[in-house]
Structure 1
Amino acid sequence: MPPAHGGPLPESIGPYKVLGKIGAGGMASIYRAVHPKDGREVALKVLAMHLASKSATRRRFQREADTLLRLQHPHILPVYDIGEADGTPYFAMRLLSGHTLENRMHDSLLTANDAAYILRQIAGALDFAHEQGVIHRDVKPGNILFDDDGEPYLADFGVARIMGADVRTSMTGDFIGTATYASPEQCRSEGITPASDIYSLGVVSYEMLTGTPPFSGANILALIKQHLDAPVPDPCDFDPTLPPDTAGVLAKALAKRPADRYSTATVLSQAIDRALGLEQRPDGVEDAEWLYEGRPLPPRPPEGAPAPEPPPVSGEPDTAPHDAEPDDIHEIDEDSDANEDEPPANRVLAAAPAPHLPRWARPGVYASLVVSIVGLLVAGTVLGTRLFASGPSLDATTRDQQLGITIKHPGGWSAASTHGALLFASRGSSLVLSDRAVPPEGPYTNASLVIVVQRLDPVSVFGVPEACRAEIERNPAAAFDCASARGAVTPTYDDFPSAYGHGVRLDGTLPPTRATYPIILLPGEGDRWLAVIVAHWDGYPGTRDLFDHIAQSIRAST
């Protein structure tokens, strides 16, 4: 009988006798178990019972098992068996008694030779997964395990992406992975390719060699900004014994543009070996060929300057296609007479000479220009009215007892509650409002607009210092001002007065991503604020005005 989430240790799960509990997360528990017929001990991963009925979570769990079954590699943690007990799925993996790479690095700094050896094995595993059409999406030290002989294994393909598959089990607009190790394209919720895993492996390599990840931040927003904009710190600043070539190799692995990174994980591993002097360089071989895969090292972005926008990525999008940022789609209408042998970026188009108009023709041109401007203004007014109309009236009211509020929204909208982890809330209730019915925990692709209301902890989400506790309880503006005065990175905000209290608005973008959700923060109960968040948008007209009106309708329920 599978256990209830957080319940007592079960005696058995399917045919396996449970010997003990190894660990648990938000989605599953892992048990040390033995099969009575062959006596083989295994690590048994079991989906939490309260999630077994959720189709999206169940599909994700099943996909992890199926993915591991097809990835038979000496350094990928193998799966032996897949099954179901009383409606709850599980799968049996090889039991490793060693620690994770995260544990090892916490205990002591790795030697350069040890780091290079681990990287070689994991790089081979990652390239094999890519050859099978699988992108891991969560390469990090906690997902690299060791056996008793110190051999490393790549594990946890729970958020892996099957290239070419139309799989959407994650919440639309939310990046997949772990922020410390996420690539810039993951942070933007853009399409990803194997290059995203190579970036994450570059972060792991940097941490193995220096003892610290290259980027950090007081909160997830600050950390994402580092991945997007900040140059890679010189690893020799953390460990002066590292050869200088290490800096260039890691900078290439962590290039902002996927095309500027190494082509495979194995090529990255080989470059690390060469930078560390573990391979002897032949005479006459230049740096570009020896260290940088035959290409010059990408230029280092200046401090404080935003990274260049990456070219369109041909990989599978992490979100539905309609969630792509409009500014990321560029169309080039090339002149038919252009030189096809010359790259489009380097073509020079000659400017046509300005025609000479006789004096008598000029008044007519001016009149035409005035008429055109008036027409554009009229058209702009009509279009603006349609785009920024305030939207439907708020003629329905929902009371959420867990949040302690009433809120108004358009009639015909769906209002549903969920108690699982969602967006910025790791616990407690979230209210999901949508123009079409969708699963509260996602995906939201069937809706045009989804607004989530939840309580969040400003300390963990926005990095507001504990010293600002009194300001947190007063209102978000006071807390952000207090945090900024103490040197913390805080978001840019506008005041948002409401009957519920003095709030702030973080404008964000449409479509939203985790780093750019439009959010309205209102004072909450004690140290937890009430957040109103645009979680999904697909062209719904008048969204920003409607969003404001919905937030302003919130009242404390009696």
Structure 2
Amino acid sequence: MSGTYRLTGRTEAGDLAELYEALLLPTLPVAVKLFLPRTSDPGYARELAETVRRLQPVRHPGLLHVVDVGFVHQRLAIVREDVDGFTLGIALQRLNTKEVLLPPTVALSIVIQLLETVQLAHDAGVVHGAITPGNVLLSRDGFPAICDFGALQALLSVPQLKRTFAHRGRSAYRAPEVTRGETPTEASDVYSLGAIAYELLTLREAVVPGSGVSTRRETLPPPSRLDRRINSRLDPAIMRALDPAPQRRFRSCGEFAQALRNFLSAGGGLPGAEEVGRFVSELFPNEVSLAAPGPVPFVEPFQLEPVSGAEMEDLHAEEHEASIVQRAPYSRAPTEQESSADTQEAAPGFEAFRPEDYAPDAPEDDAPAPESEPTNEARSTDPSHAGPLEQGW
């Protein structure tokens, strides 16, 4: 989409880019990520444009599309759909400070929708590689959506940006192989969504106590040991997604989603959209408003110059010493006591996951339950204001 835009307020500032509320004139709200002059690079834009091309045929309300990429005032700008809601990161912060409980079944409903959305992207040949609660948006009526597809790969394609920013993401959601510098795969996204599921269920980050790094399976207490509301039969599925060895995780996001669906089917079924919406309304009452938007660098309407323009040939990102920003975690890590050997001995064993164990009426031949096709159960969300996003987008 090529259009005319106007910035209306800054919602976040960082060393890589700034995030703005904006309008696709005359009235459609969008979000604009405006890179700083020293971080703007045509190589980033070209790499991201390829991801946009691959995802264009995938029309699903859980996937927030980039609608425009280009340059304005010698700055790279990325325009994407907006949503009336808040990031999952902000939701986790409020869950840790407010008297609002997230029912485990509602948490799993959110995770299942995310898994099915990411599976659609994988089917289109796109791996995210950097899913965190900060790039998951939860609409006010309870439907989750993911943005930032292609952002990590674009960052890694520009040496100056890679050296400065590649290791600054939130490690609690990063698969061990990605932390080692390997190329993200579909299994990496399974891990990231497993880490989000773990945190939604337990309000604990999936990290080794005191280390700040992605956890090893044998030192992480299973969810049921941290919250007695959680059935221990769910533990093997969550812990399999968090296995440090990619080949031992679920084969796909679709398989992970089916495992969670089977678990919920055995206990009464998947919560309806109204239950998720009710939770969001309790967590974010209508009177809740975030900080007022900040100033904009220019007020006049603008159109984006194409990425391939000759005037961009001398525009490249500069290597610079970025400030070290310590991002506060959304939830605390498990304590040493929670991760102790005694706790592990009392916990259910991490046996191999078998889908038939989770089905309410397993077939006599014990055949695994078939993988579900990704669905379009989520309604389309009206694009509108979404709260501040974390700096990674």
In the other structure, the counterpart of 2:80 is 93
CA pair 418-257 structure 1, distance change in 2 beyond 3 A: closer
In the other structure, the counterpart of 2:91 is 104
How much does 1:124 deviate? Answer: 1.1
1:79-478 matches, cutoff 5 A: 79-108=66-95, 109-161=101-153, 167=157, 169=159, 171=162, 177-218=169-210, 222-224=211-213, 227-228=215-216, 230-276=218-264, 418-421=319-322, 426=324
How many angstroms apart in 2 are the aligned matches of 1:151 and 1:195? 24
Deviations 1:226-280 (Å, cap 9, x if unpaired)? 5357433121121012111111111111112111111111221222233345567
Q: Secondary structure at the match of 1:127?
A: helix
User: Do the aligned residues in 1 keep the contact of 2:43 with 2:157 (CA within 8 Å)?
Assistant: no
Deviations 1:97-142 (Å, cap 9, x if unpaired)? 3111111222224211221221121111111111111111111111
Higher normalized contact order (CA 8 Å, seq sep 6+, divided by chain length):
2
Q: Which runs of 5+ in 1 are unaligned?
A: 1-13, 282-416, 428-459, 462-558
User: Do the aligned residues in 1 keep the contact of 2:190 with 2:250 (CA within 8 Å)?
Assistant: yes
RMSD: 3.3
TM-score (norm 2): 0.60
Q: Secondary structure at the match of 1:22?
A: strand
What is the identity, as a one-letter code, of the residue corresponding to 2:320? H
Deviations 1:46-92 (Å, cap 9, x if unpaired)? 2223322x455555665665566465322111233334323323232
User: Do the aligned residues in 1 keep the contact of 2:11 with 2:19 (CA within 8 Å)?
Assistant: yes
How many angstroms apart in 1 are the aligned matches of 2:137 and 2:94? 15
How many angstroms apart in 2 are the aligned matches of 1:58 and 1:51? 11
Deviations 1:413-452 (Å, cap 9, x if unpaired)? xxxx94342xxx538xxxxxxxxxxxxxxxxxxxxxxxxx
In the other structure, the counterpart of 1:311 is none
Structure with the higher strand share, 1 or 2: 1
What is the identity, as a one-letter code, of the residue corresponding to 2:181? S
CA pair 188-139 structure 1, distance change in 2 beyond 3 A: same
User: Do the aligned residues in 2 keep the contact of 1:246 with 1:276 (CA within 8 Å)?
Assistant: no
How much does 1:200 deviate? Answer: 0.9
In the other structure, the counterpart of 2:370 is none
What is the identity, as a one-letter code, of the residue corresponding to 2:140? D
In the other structure, the counterpart of 1:481 is none
In the other structure, the counterpart of 1:40 is 28
Deviations 1:377-401 (Å, cap 9, x if unpaired)? xxxxxxxxxxxxxxxxxxxxxxxxx
What is the identity, as a one-letter code, of the residue corresponding to 1:85? V
In the other structure, the counterpart of 1:76 is 63
Matched, 1:15 2:39: no
Deviations 1:123-167 (Å, cap 9, x if unpaired)? 1111111111111111111111022322110112253449xxx95
In the other structure, the counterpart of 1:27 is 16
Q: Secondary structure at the match of 1:135?
A: coil
How much does 1:18 deviate? Answer: 2.2
User: Do the aligned residues in 1 keep the contact of 2:208 with 2:215 (CA within 8 Å)?
Assistant: no
Q: Which runs of 5+ in 2 are unaligned?
A: 96-100, 270-317, 328-393
How many angstroms apart in 2 are the aligned matches of 1:176 and 1:230? 26
What is the identity, as a one-letter code, of the residue corresponding to 1:190? E
What is the identity, as a one-letter code, of the residue corresponding to 1:35? L
User: Do the aligned residues in 2 keep the contact of 1:64 with 1:160 (CA within 8 Å)?
Assistant: no
User: Do the aligned residues in 1 keep the contact of 2:18 with 2:34 (CA within 8 Å)?
Assistant: yes
What is the identity, as a one-letter code, of the residue corresponding to 1:31? Y
Q: Percent identity between the aligned chains?
A: 27
Deviations 1:483-505 (Å, cap 9, x if unpaired)? xxxxxxxxxxxxxxxxxxxxxxx
TM-score (norm 1): 0.43
Q: Secondary structure at the match of 1:32?
A: strand
What is the identity, as a one-letter code, of the residue corresponding to 1:23? E
User: Do the aligned residues in 1 keep the contact of 2:8 with 2:22 (CA within 8 Å)?
Assistant: yes
- Structure with greater Cα Rg: 1
Deviations 1:502-555 (Å, cap 9, x if unpaired)? xxxxxxxxxxxxxxxxxxxxxxxxxxxxxxxxxxxxxxxxxxxxxxxxxxxxxx
CA pair 216-158 structure 1, distance change in 2 beyond 3 A: farther
